Amino acid sequence: LEVIISPFLGEEGQLNGVVAVLHDITRIRKLEKIRTEFVDNVSHELKTPVTAIKGFTETLLDGAMHQEETCREFIEIIDHEAGRLSRLIQDLLDLSRIEYNRVQARFEIINLVPVIHQTVLKLRGYAENKGLELILDLPGKDVPVRVDRDMIEQVLLNLVDNAVKYTPPRGRVKIELAEAANQVTVWVRDTGAGIPQEDLDRVFERFYRVDKTRSRALGGTGLGLSIVKHIIDLHGGTVGVYSTPGIGSNFYFTLPRGADKK
């Protein structure tokens, strides 16, 4: 706490009172710390692929490029790392646009059922390639919600992509839509690795990963869930997760209903 005290003097210079200004600098300090940590994280995340790209390029230029097989192998790594860089930059841009309200949400009342259906279909190939069963459990009637369609698509893509990513072959990913009086809940359930209890609260933080190596190996940026949280906050909903390690994870988000149920 920062306290600034100034005397409040009358016309003849007599002390009439004191003005005290209290600044809660712990909050400011905390924000500064969060910002510094964020910049550190971003720099580190950017540096890792750049270092790899630079290292493999130099080795190629030093002569490795004359061996065809090595050449191909190295270029594939470079391509992979460049892909990571580009995903990272895209996620950072998305996050900062949403976080600093530079993106105006375009809310409209739409039926959520086909949005889920169409978005999840985009990941069907990915799931099938991994030998996963992708199940949709959606109501047979309209479920109106007031949302920005593109943003909700991104939320669904991020959650289902994670479910597929962290579930081993022959597993199952199930997307459910449940309705209550004044809100709807979307569940994304998987039979994957699960998340330890102590990490559950933290997975929505920027760059937080339960297993850094695994996330990186699978192409993750560590930003997907924080983007999800921001978007759902903007919609007045909530996000959360229940999980049992070794059994699977159940992510959910809620949205206010778009129209009164009559």
> Where does this chain bind ligand ADP (CB under 6 A)?
162-163, 166, 190, 192-195, 203, 208-211, 215, 220-226, 249
How far apart are the C-alpha atoms of 166 and 219, rounded to whole Å? 11
**Shortest Å distance, C-beta 82 to ligand ADP:** 17
**Shortest Å distance, C-beta 84 to ligand ADP:** 10
Q: Which is nearer to ligand ADP, 177 or 195 (CB)?
A: 195
On the 0-12 / 13-18 / 19+ scale of CB atoms within 10 A, 237 is buried
Query: Measured at CB, which residue is nearest to ligand ADP?
Result: 220
Q: Which is nearer to ligand ADP, 98 or 223 (CB)?
A: 223
Q: Which is nearer to ligand ADP, 194 or 237 (CB)?
A: 194
CB 163 within 8 A of CB 126: no
Sequence-distant (≥ 6) Cβ neighbours of residue 129 within 8 angstroms: none
**Shortest Å distance, C-beta 224 to ligand ADP:** 3
Encode 156-168: b = buried (16+ Cβ within 10 Å), e = exposed: bbbbbbbbbbbbe
> Which of 253, 241, 77, 55 lies closest to 157, judged by CA?
253
**Shortest Å distance, C-beta 199 to ligand ADP:** 7
User: How many DSSP H helices and E strands does the chain contain?
Assistant: 7, 9
Strand-pairing partners, residue 111, are 144
Strands (E), 86-131: 108-111
**Shortest Å distance, C-beta 223 to ligand ADP:** 6
> Which strand (E) or helix (H) includes residue 25?
helix 25-61
Q: Which is nearer to ligand ADP, 90 or 182 (CB)?
A: 90
Beta strands 172-179 and 133-137, pairing class:
parallel
C-alpha to C-alpha distances, 202 to 17, 47, 205, 225, 226, nearest whole angstrom: 48, 24, 5, 10, 10
**Shortest Å distance, C-beta 221 to ligand ADP:** 5
**Shortest Å distance, C-beta 114 to ligand ADP:** 24
